[in-house]
Every structure is written in structure tokens, then in C-alpha cells.
Amino acid sequence: MTQFTDAPIFDADQHMYETPDALTRHLPERYRRAVQFVQVGRATRIAIKGKITDYIPNPTFDRVAAPGAWEKFFSGQNREGQSLREMTGRAIESRPSFREPAPRLVEMDAQGVEEALVYPTLANLVEHSAAEDPELVVAMIHALNRWMLDTWGYTHADRLFMTPVISCALVDDARRELDYVLENGAKVVLIKPAPVKGLRGWRSPALPEFDPFWADVERAGIPVVLHSSQPPLDDYINRWEPPDSNDFTEMSAFRWVTLGHREIADMLTSLICHGTFTRFPKLRVASIENGSAWIHPLFDDLESAYGKMPQAFPEHPLEVFRRNVWVSPFWEGSVADVISTVGWDRVLFGSDFPHPEGLAEPRGYYAYAEGMDEKRTRDFMGDNARRLLGLPVRDPAGDRTPVAV
């Protein structure tokens, strides 16, 4: 079968590169000393509460790896055995399209992309680095969201849909942040798939004490994205293999294998087993940039647990997953992993542009496509994301796939 390649693309995974003041421009004065850029030799690093983090090698993003620079690595074609640093080659100057919405639209037009969800990059390290101070986390997240509103807006030209961040660490603050981004036009919000540390210690954001926030989300009808972030399992992995660096481009084989994407499986398991999706059945949650290889093992585990202790589940866990969850496999991953478990109307395309682990341009996905027919290609490459956000589909045949709302 000839692969249909003319679907109007909605890219569910694009990114912005923030400017150095993204975390500080709107940060209250009492927190200014907690967030600083420092020079380490010739490199610039970010220090949170006096501790330098190198998870993101260059947090200024003035020079970055080229989009798609690591394609051979992530597609399993690294025959030369190069490290990510070696694959990066010479860094490039950040392009205007990496920093601002208007140039991004010009680039999208050239690439044949109609709409995109756009995520921050620097946010990856905020909650992990400042977790011991939940009030600082809340302040940094709000500062970042205000910067995002200044620079990108939360929607732009009805084509770019930015993802302001919500930290659930402090429930009342999470509710206020949700109100703030809704009042300023957000169509989607971003939450880290991980436990949070509030004033009473670590816990899952799916526990009933967080219900006031989830009730607000359901009432607003806004989808929530769970995007991969600095892994919460770092401390556990460090007990097996103390790291020489937290720079993810230097991760060992042990760390690659053991980290995997356990955090997204655990987050969704918590939302199901702790009953959040049952108490709020209209929630729409999407897993982005977490891959899909974890789905079959998770479904097996949920099915097994339900068979042993059905009384512990208010609903069949797999039915809950299929009702409430959308999944974007890696561009090099398997769409079939998702469709055979969750369904065709729940699978989303994401390129990760302009990150080096993404594609040089979104249409590059067709080199990895699995022979989908025209209808399925239209669904995967765009219309399913439009359904998630409640936007009209672009299939000339209309929308024959209902959306759960």
C-alpha cells in the first residue's frame, strides 16, 4: 500500500526554547537568589537554591543542537557507535522560530504543519530541582507561565497552542494557576507525570486530597498533557550507579535501560487505581514524549490486578484507560502499540521539533510510517489531536470518530 502523505498535520509535540529570563522576569524579589545563571568554565549553567544542575547542558539556548541531530541514535541506526555529543556536531544559533510564535508559523508553513502543541523546554528541570521547596516551585512555575504569556501567548493564530505548566504540589496554588491560565486563553495545560512534594511530604497528585483541582479541570473541559520531564527516579538510579554527570546526553547504558519511561506508567496507574478518572470521568489526559512500549506491560499488570482483586477497582481499569487517555508514541516507535490497546481515536503524532531527539521536520515521520490508509493517517497525523482539543477535524469526509467529552 502506498503511504498517504497529504494529511493536514497537527503536531502534538513541538517545543520552544526559552530566553534566559523566562524563570526570573516575573519571579518575586524574595526568590531571586534562588534562581541564578552561573559560569562554569566556558559554560553557562543554571543554579537552583545554590545547586548547579546540568540536566540541560545550555539553559540559555543561545546555541543548540540542530533539529533531528540525534535521529540515528533514536531510530536505532547508530552503527558507528557515536555518543549523543558526537552526533550533535557543531551547535547552531537559535533560530527566531525556536523563540517566537510568528517565525514558528512561517517555519510550519514551509513544513506543511497546520497546528501544534508547543511545550516549554526549561520547565523540564524546575520541579525536580526545587522539589524540596514547594513554594519556590509554585513561584517559578507562575513566573514561567507569565513569561510564556508575554512571549508566545497561550494560543496564537488558532494554530499554536502553548502549554502553561501546573504544579500540583500545593492544591490551592494549583487551582489559582489553573484559573490564571484559563483567564488568559489556555486551551491545554501541562503537568509533570510524577509525585509531588507538598507541605506534608511526597504523594501522588491523584489522591483524593487533590480532587478540588481535578474538579476544576473537568469543569473547565481543558485537556491535560503529561509530558516527559527530568525523571523523578533519578535518586533511585543514582543508588545503583552514582553519576558522573546529570547531563542526559551522557547517560550510561544502565541508566537508559532502567530509567525507561516508568514515570508515565506509574502516573497513569495512580490516576486509575486511586480513582481520579472514576471520580472525574470526563478528564482528557494525553501522554506526550513518553513513548508507547510501556502500554502492553501496563495493560497486562492492570488486567492481572483486576482479576485478583476486582473489589479494589470501582471500574475495569482498561475501560477507564481507554475512556480518559490519549497516547503519542515516539516518532520512531510503534503506532500499533497504541491502536491495539487504546484505540485508533486515541493515538497522536508528535515530532519533538526542534529538539535534537526529534525529527528535522515533522514530515520526516513518513520514513517510519507503518502503512496506514488515508483515514488512519488523517486521524494519527492530526485529527485525533484536534478531537482532543475540541477543534474541527480536517478530514473532508467529516468526523466519523466520536470524541469522549
Chain segment 307-329, per-residue pLDDT in tens: 999 999 999 999 999 999 999 99
What is the reported pTM?
0.94
Using CA atoms, how far residue 382 sits from 202, 261, 386, 388, 395, in Å, is 37, 24, 6, 10, 9
Say how many residues make up the chain.
Answer: 405
- Confidence (pLDDT) at 230: 73
* Mean pLDDT, the chain, integer: 91
For 271, residues 6+ apart whose C-beta sits below 8 A from its C-beta are: 206, 277, 285, 324
Query: Mind listing the domains of the chain with CATH numbers?
Result: 8-29+95-399 (3.20.20.140)
> Smallest Cα–Cα separation from 268: which of 335, 328, 324?
324
**Residue 226 pLDDT grade (very low, low, confident, very high; cuts 50, 70, 90):** very high
> Smallest Cα–Cα separation from 230: which of 122, 139, 78, 99?
122
> What DSSP element (H or E) covers 37?
strand 35-40
The answer on pLDDT for 401 being more than 70 is no
Q: Please state the rounded mean pLDDT for residues 262-272.
A: 94
**Residue 259 pLDDT grade (very low, low, confident, very high; cuts 50, 70, 90):** confident
Strand pairing partners for 142? none
The answer on pLDDT for 404 being more than 50 is no
Q: Please state the rounded mean pLDDT for residues 355-363.
A: 93
